[in-house]
Amino acid sequence: MMGAMAYGFEHIFPSLLPVTNLAPSSATWFPLLAGAGIGLLQIPLTLFANRGLGASSAFVTLTAWITKTIDRVLGTRLTNPALECALHSYTDLALLIGTISGSFLSATLSGNFLKPRHPTLFNLIGGFCLIFGARLAGGCTSGHGLTGCGQLKLASFAAVPAMFGTGILTGLLVQSYL
Amino acid sequence: MTIRMGQCTGQHSLCSHFHDELCSIPGFNISIHNQMPMLTTPFIGKASKMEYARVARNGGSEGSGVLITLQLPVSSLQFPSRMQTGYIPVPGKQEFPCVVVSSLFCLPAMSTGSSTTKDWIQRITAAACGVGFGFFLHKAAVFDPKVISDQFVLSNFTMLKTFLSAVSVSLLANGVMSCFPSSQKQLNQIRPPAVKRSLSSVSVGAGILGFGMALAGTCPGTVSSYNFPNHSLSSLLLNSALVAALSLSLCAQLVCWAHMSIASLISACKAGTEKKLILLRIPLRMLIASLASHSLF
């Protein structure tokens, strides 16, 4: 059904970006194919890494490392039990580092680097809301959207419409008032 | 009242935070029973719920004890089934205090520091899949904030297409994996997102996430696939959204922590102990929080 929706979207709103071929050196791929590649990553992750795709938990690990360092230097007790557990989740961090390097690899191969800069204020507010919301919801777009919906979890099917609904509302408001 | 903590089944071991949290209850003193064989391997976790309970022992007599419900996180969950509740009788005591540990997820021996081959396989697989994830995200062009913010004004549907395609293929992949008994077992062991979170907190959190996503034009996955033209990896880490996300999550942590210290102050005032110490700690914590936020912006 989702696949049919994706195909329908492709049919109604054809890809705006130039799609040449599937070579690693081409700037962009057909979005449906790249998405299918992301979906297929669930198999090795499930079989060998005992987890699903998800990006936001790595930030908790990084925060835990920072708080632990502050604790060691200043002798405070900043690290709470939840962070203490996140200290040792290296797979999250491995996934994050992999993502950074994979994107870097693709960008180097195709020469398609990021050009426009977003307003810094938006980045700051948005970045905070991203991680705060992701941790409150217990997962981010990839955690809830890909892993949770892939497992047919009710919470994820509530989270995704909330995510996109608020996003579209905000986007339209920002567009009309700024 | 002295409580000796131990494990109730072979898969439970002691949690170091139990000790702290139970010790913070006024009038409680806990001694850890180190002679028990499995207790030398502590596991980290958070006792999420504690209550005093009358616990029936062997179906007969009753003892007073502490009921502890454990909600353990995440990453290396090994026994994803509900543990049977148990209790620890302390022999030689007339009124035997019991500790009931029930756990949804048990996380054995995580803090020992030694990584097994299985851990390394997990990490390497995660890194390799991360490379694939970043590669496909970049190829789908969703690394570009413009593409994502255009999605939210409904002028460019690249992100939605990628997302829906990824979801449908994940569903398909999970469907295929659940056909084989061995992979189905693996599939059942995966921690789903939002374990033990209410539907309302999930939807409110997702709403905040969506707000941030539309503003910053990125999401926690695509923020790490940012790239800048000067080909240096360090510049990747300096991009503002990533730094904002990280620093502000830290600040949120600090605020939460300051709040916790106020709560602990109130409880200490009630108990009348450690007052001076905590009174000193709070301004220090506030100072660190403000310093952190000022240095970042």
ipTM of this model?
0.87
For residue B226, give how far its alpha carbon lies from the nearest alpha carbon of chain A (Å): 7
b/e per residue, A129-143, with b = 16+ CB within 10 A?
Answer: bbbbbbbbbbbbbbb
Share of chain A above pLDDT 90, in %: 12
Query: Which H or E element spans position B241?
Result: helix B240-271
Would you say residue B112 lies in a domain?
Answer: no
Domain that holds residue B254: 247-296
Q: How confident is the model at residue B222 (pLDDT cuts 50, 70, 90)?
A: confident
Write the DSSP symbol of residue B26: T
Would you say residue B108 lies in a domain?
Answer: no
What average pLDDT does the structure give for chain A?
A: 78
Average pLDDT over residues B273-295: 51
Cβ–Cβ < 8 Å for A31, B158: yes
For residue B171, give how far its alpha carbon lies from the nearest alpha carbon of chain A (Å): 4
Bridge partners of B139, per DSSP, are none
Would you say residue B257 lies in a domain?
Answer: yes
Would you say residue B61 lies in a domain?
Answer: yes
Would you say residue B239 lies in a domain?
Answer: no
Q: Residue A169 has what pLDDT?
A: 93
Average pLDDT over residues B9-32: 41
Looking at B103, B129, B154, the residue that finishes a domain is B103
For residue B250 the two structure tokens come to: 């830290």
Interface probe with B: pick from A45, A67, A83, most Cβ of B within 10 Å: A45
Determine the Cα–Cα distance for residues B224 and A140; give it in Å rounded to an integer: 13
Q: Residue A82 has what pLDDT?
A: 61
The string of pLDDT tens digits covering residues A45-56 is: 988 888 888 887
Examine the domain organization and report whether B96 and B129 are in the same domain.
no
Examine the domain organization and report whether B94 and B192 are in the same domain.
no
The string of pLDDT tens digits covering residues A84-115 is: 667 777 888 888 888 888 887 887 787 777 66
Cβ–Cβ < 8 Å for B242, B223: yes
For residue A177, give how far its alpha carbon lies from the nearest alpha carbon of chain B (Å): 13
The answer to whether residue A162 neighbours chain B at the CB level (below 8 Å) is yes
The answer to whether residue B40 neighbours chain A at the CB level (below 8 Å) is no
The string of pLDDT tens digits covering residues B165-190 is: 899 899 889 888 888 888 888 887 77
Would you say residue B254 lies in a domain?
Answer: yes
Cβ–Cβ < 8 Å for A81, A93: no
Bridge partners of B64, per DSSP, are B54
Average pLDDT over residues B259-278: 52
Number of structural domains in chain B? 3
Write the DSSP symbol of residue B225: G
The answer to whether residue B224 neighbours chain A at the CB level (below 8 Å) is yes
The answer to whether residue B189 neighbours chain A at the CB level (below 8 Å) is yes
